[in-house]
Structure 1
Amino acid sequence: MRISLLIIVALAVVFLGGDLHLQAAVAPSETIRVAIVKNAGTVVVDGDGLLATRETGEAVALVPPVSITGGRDQLIVNGTAFRQLTFAASSAVKINGKPYRGMVEILPGEKGLLAVNQLPLEDYLVGLINCEISSAWPIEAVKAQAVIARTYALNRKAARKNAVYHLESSVMDQVYDGCLIEDSRARRAVEETAGEVLTYNKSIIQAFYHSSCGGKTEAAENVWGASVPYLKGVECEYCLTNPSTSWEQKLTLKDIDEKLRAAGYKVTGVTDLRPGPRNERGRLRNIRAVSGQGEVAISGDQFRKAIGYGIIKSTNFVVKVANGEAVFSGYGNGHGVGLCQWGAKQRALDGFGYAEILTYYYPGTQLKRFFEIS
């Protein structure tokens, strides 16, 4: 019993003991739960002074590194079954070699093991900055990133309050890789905006953002079908100074055919791609894939998803088909909705503060501390 109590106290120290001034400036108990591993066959847990508890809260004596495999609705460690394991460490818990602040829970998932990192929100933001942009960018751009990442996280937390986790650690939500690439500038940006979020009509907004828009940000309804007053799209020539805003990709029609069929589209032997009309923001509404079975119209965003978001970087492109190949030439990187990260960088270089940057990309919003929102 004494060992269990010591473990619980130690877990609390590890979990809450980080940068207390950061946590106090926001809300002492504000945490976030992030899925850092999904559908894994094995998870290896390590760390200095590693502490483990089982689903009952009882301490478990495990010698690191701890190799965990998945069984049917259970975890297996050295032949012993558990329903859940929670880990903390003196500095960071290492999951498959990557360090994470706070605590990490390992649970059986639908298709393998699930690892969820629970940590103070502000520490999460510090770890996130260099995954999304570079903290070496002008500090006002870094502060803008801190605010929208905090806003996005709290919005998702509210929407998923009953879920096992609030956020993915990938481009499905926000890219987060633990505390390995934290630095002082990232922490400064988080500290200097502590607790600040963007609001509209006294509610935390859906703070979507992307890498570069290619000249115009996109309206939310053109991507997700829902009109949002602060996500109508704005003019943005700022990201055009970034050489990577323009892109080109070459794919064989055979590759495209295979990717479309894998995504469930009824095509066989694609022979041509015909761009459809463009929306008012200049992006393709759809593209028609021509094959022996006729034409299939695919929305621009779904075409990107089927071929690969990293291949077709935006829906602002033209395509030329010849000799069994398709050459795509486009502008921008991402869905185009909300803040343009490269545009924010240039606006900061031009002398704009982070509040001005944010209200430009999210018109009609207000900057507030989230615990003051009525």
Structure 2
Amino acid sequence: MRKNKAVFFILILIIIVFLTNTAHGTPEIPERIRVGLNYNSPSDDIIIDTNSKVSVIFFDSEQKSTSFIIPNSVKLSFRTDDYYNIKNGETKKIQYIKAVKYEGKLIGPYHIQIGESYLDYDSAQKSLNNIKSSFPDSYLAYDGQWRVWSGLFLDEKECIEHINNYKKKFNNFTFSLVGPDSKRVQIVNTFDDSIFMIYKSQETEIKVLDDTDVESLLEFNNTKYRGNLLIRIQEDNRLSVINDVRLSHYLYSVVGSEVSPSWHMEALKAQAVASRNYTIVSLGKHKKEGYHLCSSTHCQAYKGYTKEHERTNKAVDETGNQLLYYKDKLANTFYHSSSGGHTENSENIWSEAIPYIRGVEDPFSNGSPHDTWLLELNRSEIKKTLEENNIDIGQIVDIRIIETSQFGRAVKVEFVGTKNKVVLEKERVRYLFGTSNLKSIWYEIKTNSDLCIYNLDNNSIVTKRPNQLSIVSASGHEKIDLTREQISVKGLFQIKPYNVLPDKYFFHGRGWGHGLGMSQYGAKGMAERGHSYKEILEYYYKGTKVK
């Protein structure tokens, strides 16, 4: 009886521990993740370089699969089964119009099926080998079943003409017409531009047989990647490329892409933990597109094997599965390049007030290449940019900051025009003019029309623009006419002309990035002053703990 009670007590303890871990949100760390490599730029034609023996796997809508082996290194082009114009060695997708005369060679999405379907790849390949001499332009096709097809014809009429000719020559074969299908993909051998295969499958995986062998990495857009590459047809029938890769290998590249491998090891470890956190928190970010994260800074910079380095790999390995928590919940570890001297509260950049994303003094960032910067924009550039984003306020009269955060960042900026005015908030201004140009929202705005005015009331000098001033005359105060090009201002020693409306606006700024969470240059500075990676993370993310 006592023995049964003891067993029961142990079971209760196990259940309590399990429920406690579940309640505290202990995350499941995935072994592998999917990374979209051409986010925002899906293509009609992509090239994959297989540097060794690979397996090609087709998946249907029910995730059933069929596969075959490509035994040798080959460079393959994947393109939608459509109309193309081949001219001067370049293949370009076209909207085919029969009445138009094209230079070069035309190919299209009509094909001829030779014979019936086959049970598997080997049977189809054997049949193809037997008939290749009679049909030199024949190739394998897969649409749920294996087949042998021939030709890249422009329309049904051309296809039927070839079928009739084939029937006269080869009465021991059956022939049938295959019409267009926007979900089909051609695989082309780039060595001789021959069709290797045409298939219909929502997702195709090119799988290396050993993803630890760096000599057998797959290559896309001149970048080598560990793991496997997947070709996925999106809703608009364009192709996206996805890297299915081990989480640790993904982090090798991310840490090497985000910070310099030459930095102090504690800074590299801080980046490794922050990137691991951000990855796991963001796994659903691109669910609709069929992958977890993208390779751009929209998620995290990921540049494949080419960005790996011995020291950054070591930082990932030595932090193991360590993560950053806030009250036993996984922290969303936003980070940026350089704060400019002070990080920011989350609600002043986006909308949500996150308790651990609070502004902190950051002298450790000082000394970065982005401590201060200057962006110069002329009036016509600003007008054009606003109009390209459906903001028409007429000619630019003024741009002024009307609200700042407690730490000095521009929270609201007013653009005044001859037709209208508009207030843009927080990061919106950066995204309009480019985040690499307007590096942060911590800036002041000056112009080439600014005047220094001496205020007799408080013995101070203030900066004003002519369009903000009045002229004192015998008839009283008059606002300066905005249609005037210039006014002349008399100082102590000279009369100087000023443009009524500024021609140029100067954004004098500090730091690079949104300013939330960890500053990468700040982490570097803290590490160089003797702080550990845990101390770095717990400083920038208030109230958190590394576990």
TM-score normalised per structure 2: 0.60
1:28 and 1:357, CA in 2 relative to 1: closer, same or farther beyond 3 A? closer
Equivalent positions of 1:1-374 (< 5 A) are 30-38=31-39, 39-49=42-52, 50-55=54-59, 56-60=64-68, 64-70=74-80, 72-77=182-187, 78=195, 80-83=198-201, 84-89=203-208, 90=210, 91-111=216-236, 112-157=238-283, 164-322=290-448, 323-368=502-547
Partners in 1 of 2:285 and 2:79 — Cα distance? 31
Q: Give me the whole-angstrom Cα distance separating, in 2, the residues matched to 1:92 and 1:269.
A: 54
Partners of 1:335 and 1:166 in 2: CA distance: 23
How far does residue 116 in structure 1 lie from its aligned partner after superposition? 1.1
Q: 1:28 to 1:147 in 2, by over 3 A?
A: closer
Q: Is the 8 A contact 1:32 1:166 kept in 2?
A: yes
Q: Which has the higher helix share?
A: 1
C-alpha distance after superposition, 1:196-224 (max 9, x if no partner): 11111222111100001111111111111
- Number of the residue aligned with 2:166: none
**Alignment partners' CA distance in 1, 2:287 and 2:503:** 49
Q: Distance in 1 between matches of 2:328 and 2:289?
A: 25
Question: How far apart are the structure 1 equivalents of 2:544 and 2:285?
Answer: 20
The alpha carbon displacement at 1:150 in A equals: 0.3
CA distance in 2 between counterparts of 1:133 and 1:313 reads 17
Change beyond 3 A, Cα 1:153–1:256: same
190-199 or 67-76, which deviates more:
67-76
Confirm or deny: 8 A CA contact 1:266 1:296 kept in the other structure: no
Per-residue CA distance 1:293-316 (angstroms, 9 max, x = gap): 121111131010011000100000
Deviation at 1:158, TM superposition (A): 5.5
Q: Is the 8 A contact 1:142 1:189 kept in 2?
A: yes
Paired with 1:253 and 1:41, the residues of 2 have a C-alpha distance of 39
Partner of 2:276, secondary structure, is helix
Code of the residue aligned with 2:432 in structure 1: it is A
Residue number in structure 1 paired with 2:479:
none
Shift of 1:29: 5.4
SS in structure 1 of the partner of residue 283 of structure 2: helix
What is the rounded CA distance, in whole Å, between the counterparts of 2:536 and 2:431 in structure 1? Answer: 29
Residues 85-138 of structure 1 show CA distances to partners (whole Å, capped at 9, x for unaligned) of 111235311112211111111111245211111111111000111211101100
Q: Does the CA-based 8 Å contact 1:271-1:324 persist in structure 2?
A: no
Change (3 A) 1:335 1:29: closer
Structure 1 residues 181 and 338 mapped into 2: Cα distance closer, same or farther (>3 Å)?
A: same
Taking only aligned residues, the RMSD between alpha carbons, in angstroms, comes to: 2.0
Counterpart for residue 8 of structure 1: none
SS of the equivalent of 1:230 reads coil
Offset at residue 157 of structure 1 (A): 1.4
Report if aligned partners of 2:396, 2:417 keep a CA contact under 8 Å in 1. yes
Distance 1:166 1:82 in 2: 24
Structure 2 stretches lacking a partner, 5+ long: 1-26, 82-181, 188-194, 211-215, 449-501
- Which region of structure 1 is more displaced relative to structure 2, 289-298 or 264-273? 264-273
Aligned equivalents of 2:385, 2:447: Cα separation in 1 = 17
Q: State how many pairs are aligned.
A: 343
Deviations 1:131-159 (A, max 9, x none): 11101100000000000000000001166
SS at match of 1:69: strand
SS in 2 for 1:271: strand
**Which stretch of the first structure deviates more once superposed, 357-366 or 164-173?**
164-173
Q: Distance in 2 between matches of 1:177 and 1:122?
A: 14
Kindly provide the CA deviation profile for residues 349-368 of structure 1, in whole angstroms up to 9, marking residues without a partner as x: 00000000000000111112
Secondary structure in 2 aligned to 1:259? helix
| Larger Rg belongs to | 2
Instruction: Give yes or no for contact 1:74–1:107 (8 Å, CA) kept in 2.
Output: no
SS at match of 1:235: coil
Q: Could you tell me which amino acid in structure 1 is paired with residue 32 of structure 2?
A: T
Aligned to 2:282, what secondary structure does the other structure show?
helix
Q: Letter of the 2:414 partner, please give it.
A: R
Q: Partners of 1:197 and 1:231 in 2: how far apart?
A: 16
| 1:37 match: secondary structure | coil
SS at 2:302's partner residue?
Answer: coil
Greater share of residues in strand: 2
Answer yes or no: is the 8 Å Cα contact 2:56–2:204 preserved in 1: yes
* C-alpha distance in structure 2 between counterparts of 1:70 and 1:347, whole Å: 51
Q: Secondary structure at the match of 2:444?
A: strand
Give the letter aligned to residue 361 of structure 2: E
Shift of residue 239, structure 1, vs aligned partner: 0.8
% identical equivalent positions: 30
Partner-residue secondary structure (3-state), 2:65:
coil
Structure 1 unmatched runs, 5+: 1-25, 369-374
TM-score if structure 1 supplies the norm length? 0.87
- Give the direction of change, closer, same or farther, for the CA distance of 1:87–1:349 in structure 2 (3 Å limit): same
CA deviation string 1:29-50 (max 9, x = no partner): 5211111113123210112223
| Separation in 2, partners of 1:340, 1:143 | 14
